């Protein structure tokens, strides 16, 4: 590849990635100083650069106490930066005067790239001279804990799926339950109506049987004073069997 081809290639690459240059964006688009995204993104880049430097210092630190303190500081800084990424992402979605559509679309990619850089920062992964054995033992304990947490997570996922299946089945059975309730209510209403009709029929039937006994007694020339006790007992039993208690001839 000749020099001209090399320069052309470099220029094309620079042009491809110049949309990620915030300084150039402000200069070309004449963006005002109120661009909160640019300011916050610059602070993130500066903090990330400092964090990477501390990580390099941590990897070469031989003092155990200092290494522990540095590792804790690295973890805190990394967590703080990750917590601020959502705010940066919200600012990336805000329109800024003078910003082209291509540059506006590139901001979301810049946030995603920044998040990946922050997440890739190692946390005490380099063993330190003088306490490698302790670190290995700690790693073993951490691996055991992680395995236990994975097992718990799988169990929780299983329970979650079971709960979802149960809810879906209940939703499917709900129309059937409603239909059963409706039929039960209708059957209860019909049963009450039938009971009322049966009681009314029994009452009328008992009254007719008593009248029949009295007519039979009169047709044979026996009045109320000469009816035997057996006739009254038969009439009493017959009438009570239909739900009516009768103690004498029906008054006419």
How many CA atoms, within 13 angstroms, populate the side-chain half-sphere of residue 107?
A: 27
| pLDDT at residue 243 in the model | 47
| Residue of 111 and 10 predicted with greater confidence | 111
| pLDDT at residue 227 in the model | 46
- 238-247: pLDDT as tens digits: 455 544 444 4
Lowest pLDDT segment from 26-35, 102-111, 188-197: 26-35
| pLDDT at residue 146 in the model | 60
- Is the predicted pLDDT of residue 37 greater than 70, yes or no? yes
Quote the CA–CA distance of 80 and 147 in Å, as a whole number: 27
User: Model confidence at 218, in pLDDT bands (50, 70, 90)?
Assistant: low
Instruction: List alpha helices for the chain, DSSP H.
Output: 3-17, 22-29, 36-60, 64-92, 101-119, 132-219, 229-240
Neighbours of 28 (CB within 10 A): 14
Specify whether the CB–CB gap between 93 and 36 falls below 8 A: no
Q: Measured between alpha carbons, how far is residue 133 from residues 62, 124, 129, 136, 146 in Å?
A: 14, 14, 10, 5, 20
User: What share of the chain in percent tops pLDDT 70?
Assistant: 57
Q: Where are the domains of the chain?
A: 3-128, 176-240
- 172-203: pLDDT as tens digits: 888 888 888 888 988 888 888 888 878 777 66
Lowest pLDDT segment from 70-84, 126-140, 148-162, 205-219: 126-140
């Amino acid at each position: 590849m000749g020099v001209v081809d090399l320069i052309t290639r470099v220029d094309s690459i620079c042009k491809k990635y110049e949309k990620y240059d915030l300084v150039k964006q402000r200069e070309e688009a004449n963006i005002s100083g109120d661009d909160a995204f640019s300011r916050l993104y610059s602070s993130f880049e500066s903090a990330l650069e400092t964090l990477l430097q501390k990580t390099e210092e941590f990897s070469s630190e031989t003092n155990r106490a200092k290494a522990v303190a540095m590792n804790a500081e690295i973890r805190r800084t990394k967590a703080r930066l990750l917590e601020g990424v959502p705010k940066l992402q919200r600012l990336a979605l805000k329109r800024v005067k003078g910003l082209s559509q291509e540059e506006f679309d590139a901001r979301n990619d810049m946030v995603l790239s920044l998040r990946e850089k922050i997440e890739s920062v190692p946390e005490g992964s380099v063993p330190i001279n003088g306490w490698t054995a302790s670190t290995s033992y700690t790693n073993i304990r951490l691996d055991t804990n992680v395995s236990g947490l994975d097992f718990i997570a799988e169990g929780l996922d299983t329970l979650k799926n079971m709960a979802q299946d149960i809810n879906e089945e209940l939703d499917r059975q709900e129309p059937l339950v409603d239909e059963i309730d409706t039929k039960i209510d209708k059957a209860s209403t019909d049963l009450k109506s039938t009971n009322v009709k049966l009681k009314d029929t029994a009452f009328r039937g008992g009254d007719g049987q008593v009248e029949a006994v009295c007519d039979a007694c009169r047709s044979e020339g026996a009045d109320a004073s000469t009816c035997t006790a057996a006739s009254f007992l038969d009439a009493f039993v017959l009438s009570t069997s239909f739900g009516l208690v009768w103690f004498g001839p029906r008054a006419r």
